[in-house]
A = this chain, B = another copy of it.
Amino acid sequence: MSSKSALIVSAHAADFVWRAGGAIALHAKKGYDVTVICLSYGERGESAKLWKQEGMDLETVKVARRKEAEAAAKALDVHDIQFFDLGDYPLDLSSEARDRLVDSIRAVQPSFMVSHSLWDPYNTDHMNTTRFVLEARMVAQAWGHNPGEKVLGAPQLYLFEPHQTEQMGWKPDTFLDITEVWEKKRAAIECMQGQEHLWDFYTNVAKNRANHFRRNSGGQAGGRKAEYAEGFQSMFPRTVDEL
């Protein structure tokens, strides 16, 4: 496998779109194979619009949500999307699920991983996912887990932007210019038929993060003209050859 790869772990089916859609499309464009894992469809907790319909049932919701997520993944040029179907609100994060995630991590051998914020009092699925990813990352690094497999190195784990960032204690240390793939992100966003109330919200976020990008890349004295951006918080230190 010669290309670079990245792995996004999303608690519910739509999270990867709002929060990292630009990063996904941009890295796909750069030649990365980007894999998305949705731990659940968000079928119980993030599908209010569907449940308000008469006679709705769980299976129908899951199918609808999966279709949306697959369409969004396609719009973003995702290499592979996996649905773990662990249930939601709350997620059932068993040791079997963890080993499955470890298998995926080792298969992908990501250059970097992306998941949720460390804290989310509104949605414990989100913060439990991050803990779960940290644990799986650790197991994937263990030489004694499925000996003979290629162990994981030490990829960065980026935490993508949560809703209500300040309540989550999330602080971005990295802004990514997604201007050149914005149309793809907007297209993916529009696949989320059940959450139309968030389309403009996350468009505003992307525009305002671009303002932050400009401020930090030079400001009035030559900041780059990014029009859309995404923010990420790094879990681990970077190792560099030049500051």
Contact = CB atoms under 8 A, between A and B. Distances in A.
B139 A90 contact: yes
A211 interface: yes
B143 A223 contact: no
Contacts of A208: 201, 204-205, 208
Contacts of A153: 218-219, 221-223
B171 A167 contact: yes
Among A43, A174, A198, max chain B CB count under 10 A is at A174
A238 B138 contact: no
Nearest to A155: B218
A67 interface: no
A82 interface: no
B166 A171 contact: yes
A112 B204 contact: no
A95 B213 CA distance: 31
A104 B198 CA distance: 31
Contacts of A23: 243
Contacts of A204: 204-205, 207-208
A32 to B, nearest CB: 9
B143 A51 contact: yes
A182 to B, nearest CB: 14
**Main DSSP-derived SS at the A contact region:** mixed
**Which of A44, A95, A166 is most buried by chain B, counting CB atoms within 10 A of its CB?**
A166
Q: Copy number in this complex?
A: 6
A238 B45 contact: no
Interface stretch (A71-79, A185-193, A227-235): A227-235
Interface residues of A, number: 93
A89 B30 contact: no
Contacts of A56: 147
Interface of A: 6, 23, 26-27, 30, 43-45, 47-48, 51-52, 56, 58, 61, 88-90, 95, 98, 112, 114, 121-125, 131, 134-135, 138-139, 141-145, 147, 150-154, 156-158, 163-167, 170-177, 197-198, 200-201, 204-205, 207-208, 211-213, 215-224, 226, 231-232, 234-243
Considering the complex of A and B, which 8 residue pairs feature the smallest CB-CB distances, nearest first? A44-B144, A51-B143, A204-B204, A45-B142, A217-B239, A153-B218, A89-B142, A166-B171
